Each structure stands twice: as structure tokens, then as C-alpha cells.
A = this chain, B = another copy of it.
Amino acid sequence: MIKCIRCSHVHAITKSGIVRGKQRYYCKDCNIHFTLPGEAAVEVRQQKKHMATIVDIAKALNISKSTVSRALHEHSDINPQTRAAVLEMARQLDYQPNLLAKSLVKSKSNTIGIIVPEFLTYFFPTIIMGAQQVAEQAGYNVIICQSQESFKTEVANASVLLANRVDGVLISMTRETKNFEHFKAFERHGIPVVFFNRICDEMDTSKVLVNDYEGALKAVEHLIENGYRNIAHIGGPPALRITHNRLKGYRDALEKHGLPFKKELVVHCNLSKKDAIHCAEKLLNGKRRPDAVFCVNDPVAIQLMLAAKKMKIKIPSEMGIVGFSNDPISEVIEPALTTVQQPVADIGRSAMHILLDAIKEGDAYSPVLQSLETTLIIRGSSSRK
């Protein structure tokens, strides 16, 4: 039974709510509220069982919590016996360090935030996997946020990461991001940021991307070499730099080979499946149907291929198609899709390495721009030689 802490009686005690997970009591006699002192106390319906803390260990062993802390951290100034005893008691009490508290003290959360527009196609998951590998090795956790291609969500994501005091952030922007205040907030607070794939030109931070221009150039030249002359391009959203670079590669390849650039052969796709289908149909139903298409990425190329097949257009004889990224589907579809391969997992690994460096070096750090190379993988969808 509960005794009043003042009058020590057990009658006249009622429960009066829960405070910090502990049952609060009220003594009608003394007219006071109180919670029970001492260890976690109450067995009352409380959602969290008490988790052992270093204080619990200290009490159990009759030593100070500093000593416990030292024992737990292989500090040099610690008696091996004390250390052993602490470790044993920690085990007995099922002690789990509270990283929240540690982070608070150290002003360092050992957590990295990642913001990606989506992770349903294989591209971003693979990058994240690469990044996570590297982070894990360095003892960092990762919080993954999806902006779902929505600017508003992206802003919210950034604020969550900031509030959780991540030590650094990896970002690939949405297709609609034009304002960068939410990213600059990281900078203002000294939290390093590395952009990848969908980078932000306005910010003076490290960036990792692939040589989109070169990849596009190679892809389109390959089409030209295979005798295609009326080559169209399904590009990405205008706001993204990859869109720009790949478009430029496309244009330059045409020019280099003396082919005219025709505006009506370029359409822009927002990268959703729906819009990809729409763009594909637009191109295929146009008055002068192209004999080849270079697509901004594989998912788009695949929708195009499906649409073309539905219209009984023969690939590659009547139409050549090249994609970008080497999505697993591109090997499986028939004919297999020619594509520009990017070192996807490396993008993630590379970005994380750069970020960890930035964290380590602090202000001494100066931004890096890393560009990874692409390889053209030639498959059935484009080779008619």
C-alpha cells in the first residue's frame, strides 16, 4: 500500500494522474500530491518499463555514476575489478545506454539524414544501401526521408532532421524544388550537406553526380551509328540539372554528326509512370514519328517500349530506344534495353564518404564536386547493325 510521504498514512490516498511515466498520488489528509521517490517505483500501468540507467548500476554497486560511465567506456583510469563488476551488473540489469542523453551531452547524434524523392524504383534504394554501408562502418545511423517529389514534404523532412540534430545530410531534391531555404538552414547551423544526383547549384556544398552529359552523348552517338536519323528525346523535369545535362549531350551528339535539332522531338516528363506513358504516346502519335528515342531514365524508356509494342512498332528495326541507369527491368524486357549504366551504389558510398569527411573536418572543410563515369550497355533495343 502507498504511504503518504508526509503523514505516512495509507488511507486517504488516491491516484492523481501520471507524471513522467510515474504514478502520482494525492493524500486527502495532507492535501498534497506526490510521486514515490526511489527507483522507478510504481508497478502501475505505465507503458515503458523502467530502463536501467548508469545510476541504477551505481546504486547497486555502491559506487558513483562517474565510475560506472568510465567502466562502460574502457576509460584508462579504472580498476579492472570495478570494471568487471560494472559490466556484470549492467548485464544483470539489462542496461541499455540511452543514446539520446549521450547525444544531448555531446551535441552529436551520430546520425545521418538522407532525403530522397522516392524509393520505389531500384535507383534510390541502391544509393541508400551504398551510403548506409559506409555510414554503418563509421558508426553512424541513418534516418531516411522520402519527399515523395513534394516540395512541402521535403521542407518538413529537413526540419525533422534538423530537430533531430543529425550530424550531416545527404540530399537528392524533388523535381519541384526551387527555393532552398530549408537546405540553407543546415548550413547556418554548421551541419554539412552533400547533394547527389539531383543537386542544388545554388548551394556551395559538396556534390556527387555522374557524367550525365557524357553518358547522353555516348547514347545518342550510338543511335546515330546504328543508322537512326530522326532521334527524339524524352527528358526529365526542367528544374533538374540531370535534365539539362542529358539534353545537352543529346543536342551535341546530333550536332556533332550534322543532324538537325528539332524542338518538337523533345518532350519533358515529370518522371511519374503516368506522365511517362503520356509522353510516350505523344511522341509515337506525333505527325512525324521518330525512328529512335533517347530517354532520360529506364523507367521512362520502359513505358515507351511498352507503348511502342502495343502499337506494333518493331524494336529495334523500326525504332531504337536507349535508357539511362540500367534498371534491373532493362535486362529482362524484350528486346533488352540499351542503357547508360551509372555506378549507383558508388554514388551513395561516395556521397557518404564525402559527408563523413566534412563532418570530421568541420569548418576546415571545403566542398568537393565528384563526377562518376558512366558506361553504355548495348542491348537489343538499339542495335540493328
A residues at B contact (CB < 8 Å): 20-21, 45-49, 51, 94, 96-101, 103-107, 109, 119-120, 122, 125-126, 128-129, 132, 141-144, 146, 159-160, 162-165, 185, 188-191, 302, 306, 328-329, 332-334, 359, 362-364
Contact = CB atoms under 8 A, between A and B. Distances in A.
A119 B109 contact: no
How many copies of this protein are present in the complex? Answer: 2
A232 B353 CA distance: 47
A195 to B, nearest CB: 19
B306 A332 contact: yes
A231 to B, nearest CB: 24
A126 B120 contact: yes
B45 A99 contact: no
Contacts of A98: 104, 163, 165
Contact of A96 (B20, B162, B359): B162
A99 B141 contact: no
Q: Which residue, A106, A159, A163, A362, has most C-beta atoms of chain B within 10 A?
A: A163
A362 B129 contact: no
Contacts of A190: 46-49
A9 B120 CA distance: 63
Given A47-B190, A49-B188, A306-B332, A142 B144 contact: yes
B188 A94 contact: yes
Contacts of A333: 332-334
Nearest to A153: B136
Contacts of A100: 100, 103-104, 109, 164-165
17 contacts: A20-B106, A45-B362, A47-B363, A48-B190, A49-B188, A94-B189, A96-B159, A96-B163, A99-B165, A100-B103, A119-B129, A143-B143, A306-B332, A328-B329, A332-B332, A332-B333, A333-B334
In the A-B complex, the 5 residue pairs with the smallest Cβ-Cβ separation, listed nearest first, are A47-B362, A49-B190, A99-B163, A48-B190, A45-B363
A297 to B, nearest CB: 14
Q: Which residue, A94, A122, A126, has most C-beta atoms of chain B within 10 A?
A: A122
Contacts of A332: 302, 306, 329, 332-333
Given A47-B362, A329-B329, 15 more contacts: A20-B107, A45-B364, A47-B190, A48-B107, A48-B189, A96-B159, A96-B162, A99-B164, A99-B165, A119-B125, A122-B122, A142-B143, A143-B144, A332-B332, A332-B333
A364 B47 CA distance: 9
A67 to B, nearest CB: 21
A55 to B, nearest CB: 14
A97 B162 CA distance: 9
Contacts of A162: 96
A143 B142 CA distance: 7
Contacts of A144: 142-144
Contacts of A129: 119-120, 146
Given A142-B144, A334-B334, A96 B47 contact: no
Nearest to A124: B125
